[in-house]
Amino acid sequence: MRPDDLLRPTEAGLYCPPGDFYIDPVRPVPRALVTHGHADHARPGSEKVLATRQTLAIMALRYGEDFCVERQEAALGETLAINGVDVSFHPAGHVLGSAQIAVSHKGLTIVASGDYKRRPDPTCLPFEPVRCDVFITEATFALPVFRHPETADEVGKLIASLQQFPERAHLVGAYALGKAQRVIRHLRDAGYDRPIYIHGALKKLCDFYQGEGIDLGELRAATVGPKSGEGATKADFAGAVVVGPPSAFADRWARRFPDPVSCFASGWMRVRQRARQRGVELPLIISDHCDWDELTETIDELGPQEVWVTHGREEALVRWCELRQLRARPLHLVGYEDEAE
């Protein structure tokens, strides 16, 4: 069997003809296998959805319980047959519940890794290398210029700034699923034990993480009183950490805080110009995707016969593979944006 007969790019996403299913389809389909809960990978409206328990729960939180007609839970490491094609889910290390999907048929195995990373993340299971003939990798940061620094050092910059500016609120922009909880958990690991204020858009997901046993410490709503008698006063935010989705920072919401230090946790903060454009005073290079070294080391470690590259800087990674006599191709799938990273 040729790899293309088992999985192929289509307009709706990666399609498996013998199994008659799609992986992370970008439009509603009869049967979807979903790697993780980010909005560009997990979309509502498909008939049947197979994903990990946590990803299904995240989709229900975001889209409502009727995000599909029929859900099926994939237990990590267990093989299921779909129309005679074997599929199994394995941790991807990207966000809570994220999984790579291995598809095997007639002696051929393709692993669609979704989004993944290799460095330690206290909020999800680590990436598990899965032997395969074809490895499908993302390429969000697939340029040699992208080398993410140590996470603890980036969190250390935030802590140092809090000490240096004890009267200023530190507004940390972080994507609502995964990044926000990870930044909070890293702060706790660094010994920061004051209450952390969160924007309302993060509440459901933070509650879900806490319910899954990821201790985020004391979180408070970042609402300013006093009209209802609830919420904090402006003075409470002096020297406080306030975490919110990046979109909220362009908003009136951000102006309620005293002399804020604008921070943004993203792999894109490696690009100084992006930080400047967004008016970010304290860029924190914290990424939920592999950097260049992690991508190339993963391919070396797995040793597949062929690599398919999707969403991001496809050409550079394809070229890197070719220089090593490794067959590689860009998939040119559309509809996946990792701007939110």
Residue of 98, 96, 99 lying closest to 88 (CA atoms): 99
- C-beta of 39 vs 190, nearer to Zn ion: 39
Determine, following the binding rule CB under 5 A, whether residue 38 of this chain makes contact with Zn ion: yes
Return the residues of window 96-155 that contact Zn ion according to CB under 5 A: 115
- C-beta of 115 vs 294, nearer to Zn ion: 115
- C-beta of 98 vs 151, nearer to Zn ion: 98
Q: In the complex, what is the shortest distance from the CB of residue 287 to Zn ion, in angstroms, rounded to a whole number?
A: 11
Q: In the complex, what is the shortest distance from the CB of residue 228 to Zn ion, in angstroms, rounded to a whole number?
A: 36
Look at the block and give the residue holding tokens 């996946």.
336
Burial state string for 60-81 with b = 16 or more CB within 10 A and e = fewer than 16: bbbbeeebbeebeebeeeeeee
Structure tokens at 38: 């980010």
User: What CA dihedral angle connects 319, 325, 331 and 336, to 10 degrees?
Assistant: -60
Q: In the complex, what is the shortest distance from the CB of residue 38 to Zn ion, in angstroms, rounded to a whole number?
A: 4
Number of residues that bind Zn ion (CB under 5 A): 4
Amino acid making up residue 22: Y
Residue 104 has phi, psi (to 5 degrees) of -125, 140
- C-beta of 96 vs 232, nearer to Zn ion: 96
- C-beta of 154 vs 338, nearer to Zn ion: 338
The piece of 153-161, 219-227, 312-320, 328-336 that touches Zn ion (CB under 5 A) is 328-336
Look at the block and give the residue holding tokens 């009136």.
252
Q: In the complex, what is the shortest distance from the CB of residue 24 to Zn ion, in angstroms, rounded to a whole number?
A: 8
- Helix 151-164 and helix 179-189: axis angle, to 10°? 70
Determine, following the binding rule CB under 5 A, whether residue 314 of this chain makes contact with Zn ion: no
Residues that bind Zn ion (CB under 5 A): 38, 115, 336, 338
